[in-house]
Amino acid sequence: MSSDVRRPLISGNWKMNHNHFEAIQCVQKLAYILSKEDLAAVDVSIHPPFTDLRSVQTLIDADELKFILGAQHCHEADSGAFTGEVSAAFLAKLNVSYVIVGHSERRELFGETDEVVHNKIVAIQKHKMTPILCVGETLAEREAGRTHEKVLGQVRSALEKRSVEQVKSMVIAYEPIWAIGTGKTATAGDAQVMIEAIRQEVAKVSSGSAAAAIRLQYGGSVKASNIAEIMSQPDIDGVLVGGASLDPAEFGRICQYRLRPLN
């Protein structure tokens, strides 16, 4: 395994925020904040709404910015009568590298099943992009002691029939649903326990080499104030940031976590 296989990945999910003018300004501000040294230490992916993708792609290419373009969602089919949907094939033509799949909001609000999530992973990898698979439990499931059952079941379904090399290239983001946008955060230790369990499950479902290579993120109310502790955990390779990624100054501090001492 090369030294860059589990290179830290900091991903900003803007959700349904920022029109394309605001997106350009946000990326420009972030580029001003982060130094070459910062971007040499971590990978930073930005996931704007669909309407912003072309504008952000053009800015990244024209200014040779070291950000990685990502999308928030895609349809499992390459084309067809799916009004309002966007295919992985379209995203690939925009130089998108990462696609979030199975986010709790897609599962909970739009009814995406484990089968649909799996099919999207197949489509994303077919078009040479990297899926960021989101898994996580609700508060009710957590209180009922079903966290491992729920999360590891999602992992198994997503990785079904994926080759070892395909699994190695993936990213899995553990996002406890009860912590997303609530201000609540799983303790770094609790996040480590769950993410270690995910890595062990990847080894069972795929291989030890895939488990060693796959990048595992934590998501759920990540901020500059807690990023250093989160990233100090041995199995956490990055974070998927929601609301805090909308503020370039805050997101910049998150990307610079290695400079922030533990409290």
The Cα 196–Cα 104 span in angstroms is 20
- Tell me how far apart the terminal alpha carbons of the chain are, to the nearest angstrom: 32
**Sequential DSSP letters for 106-122:** HHHHH---HHHHHHHHH
Q: Is 175 a catalytic residue?
A: yes
Q: Which helix (H) or strand (E) holds 158?
A: helix 147-159
Closest-CA residue to 187 (of 159, 215, 148, 226): 226
CB 72 within 8 A of CB 83: no
Q: How far is CA 91 from the centre of its chain?
A: 16
Task: Select which of 18, 73, 103, 118 is catalytic.
Answer: 103
Task: Select which of 175, 201, 229, 250 is catalytic.
Answer: 175
Contacts of 33 (CB under 8 A, 6+ apart): 248, 249, 252
Closest-CA residue to 248 (of 12, 9, 7): 12
Contacts of 35 (CB under 8 A, 6+ apart): none
As annotated, the active-site residues are: 103, 175
